Structure 1
Amino acid sequence: MFVTLPGGTDDRVEGSEGDPSADAHEIAAAVERLANLWSMAAQEAVVRLSPHQLRALRVLEAAPEVNLTGLAERLDIGLPTSSRLCDRLEAAGMLERTLHPHNRREVQLRLTGQGRRVLADVARRRATTLTGVLAAMAPEERSALVLGMNAFLSAADGESTPPSEAR
């Protein structure tokens, strides 16, 4: 079976004829390569962070003033591990701990300006790396990738939007 990509009749790729497991192996290889590019771009940032540290900063960016328990739950790690992680991030000047204004027994975690700058640097480096790879693709291949990724996200989220309407 051949699938015609958007933008032309000569741009055809061989499909799996309805076998998702065959496609899954090919996609897994591409995702692994993307994850490696993503990770390398993060490691080239001004401040090098472990994947756990970077995830913690992203959680703090998305959920300002979360407490230690909330961070541990979002990262799916234990409280002692979360506490040590915060100790290192605080020592690096990327997060601060403050007392909750209405519950003195609770400590809130907040990103500092340095933490925000590091996240912005990582995001910029990742976008630059991804842009370089996408630039090497033909425009119709990029369009097909975007269409496919939107369909994947819809399916992963349980939505039933047909791929042609995902754009």
Structure 2
Amino acid sequence: MDAFTAADARVADATLAASRALLGVVARSVVATLDVVSLPQFRVLVMLSSSGPTRMGAVAERMGVIPSTFSRFIDRMVAGGWVERAASPDSRREVLLELTSSGRRLVDDVTECRRADISAILSIMTPDQRTALQHALQAFADAAGEPQAADLLTLGL
């Protein structure tokens, strides 16, 4: 394995600084949402947004909670109009959770807020810097691979 050089350290430090900037974007995008739903509730909305209708037991498992406790948690989300329960077409014993249009709109609003914040930051950069950033971030994402869903859910991503 190659030795970690001073140049490598500078790249790592720059990457850490960029990750803090991106975490700031994430935090700003979700602040207003937390007046409406809790962070764990938002995590469920994000999960359902990316996976579609999902068995309630599978969502509870991904959230790391006991199904009976999770059922009461979902009751509050259904009452708030964010998700709905439906019987599974495969098994009447299984309950599927699905985003409502209000739940979808909430996730989409947060995503659009993030996109707008990132666009504002990018507008300060030159076209050449944006192109270089695009290539560098794609290379970084390719090298890192897809993050685990559980890791992203911790931050409501």
What TM-score, normalized to structure 1? 0.72
Larger helix proportion of the pair: 2
Superposition deviation, residue 41 in structure 1: 1.8
Superposition deviation, residue 68 in structure 1: 1.8
Which of 57, 62, 65 in structure 2 is aligned with 1:78?
65
Contact 1:45/1:118 (8 A) holds in 2: yes
% same residue: 33
Superposition deviation, residue 22 in structure 1: 4.1
Structure 1: 5+ residue stretches without partners: 1-14, 159-167
Task: Tell which deviates more after alignment, 140-149 or 33-42.
Answer: 33-42
Contact 1:42/1:48 (8 A) holds in 2: no
Question: Larger Rg: 1 or 2?
Answer: 1
The reply to whether residue 98 of structure 1 matches residue 86 of structure 2 is yes
Which of 131, 138, 144 in structure 1 is aligned with 2:126?
138
The reply to whether residue 127 of structure 1 matches residue 140 of structure 2 is no
Distance 1:73 1:144, change over 3 A: farther
User: What is the aligned length?
Assistant: 141
Which of 134, 142, 154 in structure 1 is aligned with 2:142?
154
Between the aligned partners of 2:70 and 2:135, the Cα distance in structure 1 is: 38
Superposition deviation, residue 82 in structure 1: 4.0
**RMSD, matched Cα:** 2.5
Structure 2: 5+ residue stretches without partners: 147-157
What TM-score, normalized to structure 2? 0.76
Contact 1:38/1:126 (8 A) holds in 2: yes
2:96 aligns to what? 108
